[in-house]
Amino acid sequence: MTHRIPVTALPVDDSPKDECGVLGLSTPHGEGVAQLSFFGLFALQHRGQEAAGIAVSDGKRARVHKEAGLVANVFTPEALAPLTGYHAIGHTRYSTTGSNADRNIQPFLVETMHGPLALAHNGNLVNAPALRDELLNRGFGLTATSDSEVLTLMLAAAGGQTWQERLERTLPAWKGAFSLVLLAADQVIAVRDPWGFRPLSIGRLPHGGHAVASETCALSTLGCVDIDEVRPGEMVTLMGAEVHRSQVLAPQPRGARCTFEFVYFSRPDSVWDGRNVHHVRQRLGVQLAHEAPADADVVIPVPDSSIPAAIGYSNQSGIPFNDGLIKNRYIGRTFIEPTQDIRERGVALKFNALRENLEGKRVVMIDDSLVRGTTAGPLVKLVRDAGATEVHVRITCPPITHACHFGVDMGHDGDLIAGHLSVEEIREHIGADSLAFLSLDGMMLAVAERESSDDDGYCNACFTGRYPIHVGDAQAKLSFEGVLA
């Protein structure tokens, strides 16, 4: 007998959250730099919906505008008007280290003895507590609870004649994931950690200058050509029409690209490691159909990130693909207290079921991940209530059993349902007729197009517990909040 989860509250979004998207650009003519930054960030909005910011420099002075909210709400024409200059960086945020308080919104902008310095960061340092303590012991005052502020102040205090020299002296102390962009008075600098955890790419702007961004989709939006990946351990300097690239840290022998960029985070039209994300997700679905077939009448995705995988599963299995769940893409975050009636409807605030496509049918429901298990049960119930006779859940990655310490908010080990329940127990918990996860080897075959049991250049620590960096000093997301309450 299956156990059903009562829907008693507004659903917690069970998707993993990436920390943010970063953007940097430099032009020789200085026309529309803030507007270009806006549209680049708009293309990265899926990576963070809590806050957004843009910092711009005209060669002497730097200005910043940043607020909580979506990119389109933060940057009105009035907000963009003062942001004039030749160089800019931008950030759209979901918090992993530090809360979503206004003090943690990026970019961080400080005045230094060498001129203005702004920084925006995607990733997470596992040694941030030790670095933070060192700054405090040296007499620095900290105003935020984010590891990104620690990076900013370390660079501001570093020795060296140029920002490149200061970066080279500081980088070896940073352990963990960082793809970051820096804004100085007359240039933009981008750098990526030697493990290559988080993506970062560079492209040439169509009317002169260059841009870097977390994903290629943002560069394509800006019309960039000659798009290339920033290599692990590489530093890129953008100065108007000039671009300089140098390898400042030796790449780690075993890279650690985050597989979740392919499974969930990245936009489907982005390219990373030479692979189109949509195509990889289709292969995940094909592999899942190989490993976990089902006798069913229709394959449906949990939109949006699972759509390519559901197409792949359908093509491989021969079971027709159709829409079964329609997503309200505009619900966002709400501060309106729901009525009890709305609260009890739970997941229906975010999804509606298409009865015409589900009634009387055996359904395969494809989802990209199952983290805390808070939405899978209500979704299964929603599909059943629409008349499905069977619901078979298929997940395009292995069970997530360990927390991420490199810039993904999955919760702690105790929050992860697969960390303390077996697959059969999870199936009972969510009320599905069957449940199957893609194997680690199957996932890597789809992602890297080769069989791999040793991660082979990718970080799979959330599935295996094998962290590429020692994480003994890593802190909880809100560990610095106790002091700056």
What is the count of structural domains for the chain?
2
Which CATH number do you get for residue 239? 3.60.20.10
90 membership: H or E segment, kind and range: strand 87-93
Note whether residue 338 is domain-resident: yes
Give me the pLDDT at residue 164, please: 98
C-alpha pair distances (Å), 239 with each of 32, 38, 108, 173, 398: 16, 20, 20, 26, 43
Cα 484 from chain centroid?
26
Same domain, 180 and 46: yes
Assign 208 to helix, strand or coil: coil
| 326 touches 344 (CB < 8 A) | no
Instruction: Kindly tell me the number of DSSP H helices and DSSP E strands found in the chain.
Output: 16, 25
Provide the whole-model pTM.
Answer: 0.89
Q: Is residue 319 located within the same domain as residue 189?
A: no
CATH of the domain at 383: 3.40.50.2020
Of 256, 289, 320, the domain-final residue: 256
Contact criterion met (CB below 8 Å) for 431 and 5: yes
Q: Does 176 fall in a domain?
A: yes
CB half-sphere exposure, 88, CA atoms < 13 A: 34
> What is the structure's pLDDT at 481?
44
- Considering 20, 217, 224, 404, which one is annotated as catalytic? 20
Other C-beta atoms closer than 10 Å to the C-beta of 461 total 22
Tens digit of pLDDT per residue, the chain (485 long)? 333 333 333 344 566 654 689 999 999 998 899 999 999 999 999 998 889 999 999 999 999 999 999 999 999 999 999 999 999 999 998 754 444 578 889 999 999 999 999 999 999 999 999 999 999 999 888 888 888 889 999 999 999 999 999 999 999 999 999 999 999 999 999 999 999 999 999 999 999 999 999 999 999 999 999 999 999 999 999 999 999 999 999 999 999 999 999 999 999 999 999 999 999 999 999 999 999 999 999 999 999 889 999 999 999 999 999 999 999 876 554 445 556 666 666 677 789 999 999 999 999 999 999 998 888 999 999 999 999 999 999 999 999 999 999 988 777 778 899 999 999 999 999 999 999 999 999 999 999 887 655 567 999 999 999 999 998 755 554 444 444 44
Instruction: For residue 43, tell me if it sits in a domain.
Output: yes
Q: Where in the sequence is the domain holding 370, given as residue range(s)?
A: 272-464
Residues 423 and 369 in one domain: yes
Residue 459 annotated as catalytic: no
pLDDT value at position 3? 32
Closest CA to 195 of 241, 136, 256: 256
- How many alpha carbons lie under 13 Å from residue 196 in its C-beta half-sphere? 22
